[in-house]
Amino acid sequence: MSFLRNKLDQLRKPFGKGEKWEKFAPAINAFDTFLFVPNHTTKKGAHIRDAVDLKRTMITVVIALLPALIYGIYNTGYQHFTQLGESFTFMDAFLHGAAKIVPMIIVSYAVGLAIEFAFAVYRGHEVNEGFLVTGLLIPMIMPVDIPLWMVAISVVFAVLIGKEAFGGTGMNILNPALTARAFAFFAYPTYMSGNKVWVSEATHVDAISGETILGSLAAGREAGYDMWSMFAGSIPGSIAETSTLWILVGAAILILTGVGSWRIMLGGVIGAAFMGFLFNLWGVNALMSFPWYEHLLVGGFAFGIVFMATDPVSAAQTFKGKWIYGILVGIFCIMIRVFNPAYPEGVMLAILLMNVFAPTIDHYVVEANVKRRKKRLEAAKVKTA
């Protein structure tokens, strides 16, 4: 490591203060801080001494995403060979999935980081590590057969409009990854929905129909899969959203490390279960009659509530606010699924909607706390008078 440290120090010399390439210092510093802990400390102000910084937090989230991503790679190949009726091994499925998904990840990181570096150089600030997670999330929530150029344009929109327009990392009001998916959905709807975009190369083989469970239910048909398949994830869907089992592993990592809010996750489950149960009592169509507990297993609900709704920037910040925020995400997710047959997957719109209202929720929670404390103070003054 000392050899790498010395080489980086040599590379940084032309980018130092007063040197020829000083303007591009944020770019080289980004590589340095990605590989090593920053070697500078603050000189003034009150700070909490903690070993956890933004880089460690982002890397923890990436680690939590890996189980769902690895299974998603395998499931991509599994769906492909199963639909074709061909025999295959685990490695056949995994390698086929990797050939489809790894290029999407590379494109996402290359385009997004290029924009991040450009803005860092232009504004003269350091490159933040926030895109480490966003760059991985965007391809994970896309259909496997989406063209790479659409992934690139979606990333550009998410970084420019969803993030940099608000001031960069920590300033955005909407989740950037969901902003990318929303853009792709409304800009290229035929590549984001239907029955042939969820299985790789399905658009080239007429015999393949990889419709999602929610798509089937929205059309008034049966789900077509048992509960174990829904839980394990051997169903068509976005790359990393199908396996609730491996998403729960990621959720455990986030909760145990204190990175993800268990209040938002549990609140989302409570809200979705409650709304699903109410629709079960109504039972007018297939989506309403779909068991409430199976609503929690299909579509992007589990992935969204664990990795998207818990985004510390765009989610609610107060304890009580997190409960309200999570419950409302769950409620709106199921409502959108049931009442919008053109878009049965509702978790994206539900989270984006609550991102907008998260500051309002926190505002009223804080105001309520202030009023309570004022009443306590007044009551204490009366007693001592």
What is the Cα–Cα distance from 270 to 300, expressed in whole angstroms?
Answer: 16
Report the chain's mean pLDDT, rounded to a whole number. Answer: 85
pLDDT at 206 over 60: no
If you count them, how many residues does the chain have? 385
Q: Are 333 and 347 in contact (CB under 8 A)?
A: yes
The dihedral of CA 95, 59, 231, 306: what is its sign? Answer: negative
Residue 162: both structure tokens together? 């969803």
Provide φ and ψ at 84, rounded to 5°: -80, -15
DSSP 291: -
What secondary structure does DSSP assign to 247-269, as a single string? HHHHHHHHHHTT-S-HHHHHHHH
pLDDT tens-digit map of 82-123: 888 889 999 999 999 999 999 999 999 999 988 988 887 777
The per-residue pLDDT for 169 is 76
Q: Are 161 and 179 in contact (CB under 8 A)?
A: yes
What is the Cα–Cα distance from 215 to 223, expressed in whole angstroms?
Answer: 9
What is the Cα–Cα distance from 267 to 265, expressed in whole angstroms?
Answer: 5
Q: Are 140 and 65 in contact (CB under 8 A)?
A: yes
pLDDT tens-digit map of 306-324: 999 999 899 999 999 999 9
pLDDT at 205 over 50: no
Q: Are 362 and 317 in contact (CB under 8 A)?
A: yes
What's the Cα-to-Cα distance from 186 to each of 98, 176, 183, 263, 342, rounded to whole Å? 27, 15, 5, 31, 12
Look at 3-12, 22-31, 239-248, 338-347 and tell me which has the smallest mean pLDDT.
22-31
- Nearest Cα neighbor of 84 from 205, 227, 265, 264 is 205
- Nearest Cα neighbor of 35 from 61, 68, 66, 12 is 12
The pLDDT confidence band at residue 207, using thresholds 50, 70 and 90, is very low
- Nearest Cα neighbor of 325 from 285, 353, 294 is 353
Element spanning 181, H or E:
helix 176-187
What's the Cα-to-Cα distance from 281 to each of 20, 272, 292, 308, 328, rounded to whole Å? 71, 14, 10, 29, 20
Percent pLDDT > 70 in the chain is 81
- Nearest Cα neighbor of 279 from 333, 213, 219 is 333
- Nearest Cα neighbor of 109 from 130, 89, 123, 125 is 130
Neighbours of 299 (CB within 10 A): 27
| 368-366-332 Cα angle (round to 5) | 90
Ramachandran bin of 233, using left for φ above 0, alpha for ψ from -120 to 50, beta for the remaining angles: left
Residue 296: both structure tokens together? 């929690």
Residues near 201 by Cβ (< 8 Å), separated by ≥ 6? Answer: 80, 145, 208
pLDDT tens-digit map of 331-377: 999 999 898 867 767 899 999 999 999 999 999 999 999 999 998 88
The per-residue pLDDT for 5 is 66
Q: Where are the alpha helices (DSSP H) in 309-346?
A: 319-339
What is the Cα–Cα distance from 185 to 335, expressed in whole angstroms?
Answer: 19
pLDDT at 208 over 50: no
- Nearest Cα neighbor of 329 from 309, 310, 300 is 309
What is the Cα–Cα distance from 231 to 218, expressed in whole angstroms?
Answer: 20
What mean pLDDT is predicted for residues 44-67? 76
The per-residue pLDDT for 327 is 97
What's the Cα-to-Cα distance from 320 to each of 209, 244, 308, 362, 364, rounded to whole Å? 44, 26, 19, 8, 10
